[in-house]
Every structure is written in C-alpha cells, then in structure tokens.
Structure 1
C-alpha cells in the first residue's frame, strides 16, 4: 500500500516537474524571441550618446551616491558575518561568494525603496519622458505633461499633468522577503531569486507608459500576461545591472531610458500597423457602398 502511494506521489511529482519545465522553456523562448533583454543595453548606449538625458541624473547624483555608500557599507559591516555563518552550512566554501551576491541584492532593494520614493522619482520620470520626446513620441508624452517648444528633450518637459511612477509597493517588499530564503540553495537558489525579482521588476518598467496611454488595470494585466517572457527578460537584466554597487544608480537611469526606447518602438509599430490597415479599411468601405 505504502509502496503504491509512494509510486503515485513520485509520478505526480514528475508530472508537475515536467509541466514547470515546459512553462520555463516556453517563457525562455518567448523572452529570446522578443529581444526585450537587449533594451537595458540599448538604454546604456542611448544614454551615453545623448548628453541632454544626463541632466536628471546629474541633479541627483551626489545625494544618491551618499545614500548608496551608506547602505552598502552598513549592510556589509552589520550583516555579512551573520549571513555568512548561515549560508556556509548550505553553500560550503561558495558561501563567501553567495553572501556577497545576497548583500548586494539586499542593498539594491533598500536603495531602490528609499531613492525611488524620496530622491529619484522626478528625475527618473523626466528621463523616461525625455527619452520618449527624443524619439518623437511627443503625442504620448503630451497626454501626461505639458511640452514646451524648442530646446533639448529635457528642456521641453513642462508641468506634470498626471502623477508620476508608482512608488515601491508594500506587496513588492513582502514578496522580496518571502523569497529571500531561496538564497540558502547553493548558486541555483540565488539565480532563481534574482529571476523572481526580475519578473517583479519587469511588471513595473512600463508603469508610466501605461499611465500615459490611459490603459485600465485589466488591459495592463492582459498585456503583461501576453508578454510575460519579454518583461521578465528586461526585468532580470535590469535587476542584475542595478545590483552593481554605486554604478547601480547609473543603471537605474539607463534602464529607464531602455524602457522608454521599448515603449517608443511599441508606439511606432502600432502607428505603422494603423497606417497600413487604414487604406484597406477605406477600400473595404468603398466596396460596401
């Protein structure tokens, strides 16, 4: 009896594992096809080659660097040895490496929570909107703020008409703490943890774009569900980049640029589709007459 039950449970576990593997493979294939993982890198290149977009970062650089230095130094001073003592039991010699990764991830999260809520919200908003303006997506930006004539993309940004990015939600923090124990699993656990954080991060990268487009909550959810792989890929790359000590501030802005470039490409594609289908609709209307 017990043997039959054990065999049944083993078969069920294999079935679940197979289903999860197929889902993960489909997600990875979707992410690869989308090319969304490239946008954080495109954001870096675009940011470096468009000096006007440096202004928001420059205006917040010193206080954010000070915050980052204090958080990273404090986390390593107070939490490295305690967390190393725990991880060494499950990771062995690799604990020295995995503890560093864990603390960098924890520090990145703390810096994001504080900076995005108190220091960088307006600067990141200007960077995102300014990138859209530089890509001639002014029609979208004008739905959420006034635009001035002349000047560079940042100088053209006027009064905000719609509230900026959503702040770091308590749900995201709870999810972070809930999955933190995954880091006890050697290497693989840390990778899975970063992947989960990336998926959560990906869901928020176009919050401003959805706001400008006036999409309802249900439409946002439907869009994100249909493009889970793409947003997870972007979010994972963005998360890894923002984990880099001190440079994470820079990558936070380049990720905003990358997200805006992606949004501009979506707009351009939709516009081209509308332009290409409109003549066909008119022709059909004429035939109907």
Structure 2
C-alpha cells in the first residue's frame, strides 16, 4: 500500500510539473496582463464596464461589510493558531480576498454577464475578427469605427446563469487560506485551473464547438489554460480592483482567441471539428 501511495504521488507530481512546463512555454499567463494594457489604451472598451460599475461596486461594498461583521472574529480566532500576532492583519487580508471572490462570482452571474460578452466580442472585432463574432451576433457599420459601437443584438449567450457549483467549490477550497502563503497559492491554482477554460466559453461558442470538443481542446492545452487562469484569478482577488480586472481578463482572453485564429493551422482545425459536429 505504501509503495502504491508513493507511486501515485510521484505520478501526480510529474503531471503537475508537465502542466507547469506546458503553461510556461505557452505564454498564456501573459494574456491577462496584455489585457490590462489593451483595455487601458482602447477607451471604447470602457463602455460595458461603465454601464455596470455602480451596481457592482454597491454589491461589493455590501458583501465586504457583511463579511467583516459576521466572519472576521471567527476567522481571526482560527488564524491566531497559525499566524500568531499577525492574525489580525492576516484575517483582514483574508476577508478582503473572500469578499472580492464572492463579489466576482455573484456579479458575473447576476450583473455583468452581458457586459463581459460585449467586452470579449468588442476586442475580437477590434482585432479584425468580425466574421467570427458575426456567427453569434449582428455586426453593424455604425460606431464611427469603435468596436463596441459595431456590436448588434446577441443571437445567444454562452455563459450560464448563477450556478451553485462555483460557490460550492469556492467554499471547499476556502480552508486552504488558513495555511499561510502555501495555502493561498494552492487556492489560487485550484481556482485558476477551473477559471482558465471558462474564460474562453464565448470563443468555443463562436467556433461552434460541442461540449465534447471543448473538453478535448482544453485537455490538450491544459497547461496553457491553467496558467492563464492562475494569472487571471490572482488579479481578480485584488480587493476593490477585482471587478475591473474581470473586464481586463476578458479582454486578454479575447486577445488570446484572436491570436489562435491568426495562427496557421489552428483556425482550420477548429473549423473542421465544428463541421464534424454538425
């Protein structure tokens, strides 16, 4: 039994090392940061964020206030045993991180879904991918060249409404944060592994990929999607600024999708997969 456990652990370490190496080679972890620059330098992309900023910030303030009132004291008591004198400060940072995560989950489900889709599609249009976007929404000739101004009515929406699964996973992983440094890193990696593929839900829909095709596509690029997800998740955990980073991450995901379309062989392969599904 002991040998079997050791062998299993060895295989898991090797698998994680392979994923990390693949992610580093892919450069996908850079796209969230490219998204920040691109978003900041394309003012027409501000419109979806500006339209939902006030209600989202209000939601975030309410969640943060609730978390400090009802969860700070119990958590500082637990962290006292792991952080000692630093427990008070560690708990403040932890509660801010928890509040930011909860705000992201709820706002994406209830408030900013359409705005994130507009940001993704607008970035693709700005990158010359009008034909790709036109498969799932109307593209107009208006907007004086501004990408967002050219976006018409959506044909369908790729992002599911609120699912308790995201919150369940979040609370399952939450105790990791009680372990200083290492636990928080593990929390971000586990969340990022899930969030990476989710960032391309819109891209998969635009390509007409089935659920099976998506799973296979992501599995073949697990390192790239995990590295993107880890970087994006870390940014969205930043208190107060997390909501803005959710838009810049969406922009980065769209830039990645546009690059995939431009690479020789990638686009034809996906189109062939989509044809086989019909």
Aligned partner of 1:78 in structure 2 is 70
Distance of 2:97 and 2:265 partners within structure 1? 39
Aligned partner of 2:229 in structure 1 is 235
| 1:103-124 residue CA offsets vs partner (Å, 9 max, x unmatched) | 2332123212321122111111
**Is the 8 Å Cα contact of residues 72 and 245 (structure 1) preserved in structure 2?**
no
TM-score, normalising length: structure 2: 0.89
**Counterpart secondary structure, 2:238:** coil
Matched residue count? 267
Change (3 A) 1:174 1:157: same
Tell me whether 1:34 sits opposite 2:26 in the alignment: yes
Give the RMSD, CA atoms, in angstroms: 2.0
Residue of structure 1 aligned with 2:132, choices 140, 160, 165: 140
Distance of 1:247 and 1:54 partners within structure 2? 15
Residue of structure 2 aligned with 1:211, choices 205, 216, 232: 205
Distance of 2:157 and 2:267 partners within structure 1? 30
**Counterpart secondary structure, 1:165:** coil
In structure 1, runs of 5+ residues without a counterpart are 1-7, 275-289
Distance of 2:263 and 2:220 partners within structure 1? 17
Alpha-carbon distance, 1:130 to partner: 0.4
Counterparts of 1:242-281 in structure 2, within 5 Å, are 242-270=236-264
**Counterpart secondary structure, 1:166:** coil
Greater CA drift, 91-100 or 51-60: 91-100
Counterparts of 1:184-199 in structure 2, within 5 Å, are 184-199=178-193
Distance of 1:70 and 1:267 partners within structure 2? 41
Distance of 1:104 and 1:221 partners within structure 2? 33
Change (3 A) 1:26 1:267: same
Distance of 1:273 and 1:161 partners within structure 2? 22
Distance of 1:168 and 1:27 partners within structure 2? 30
Distance of 1:15 and 1:97 partners within structure 2? 40
Distance of 2:14 and 2:91 partners within structure 1? 31
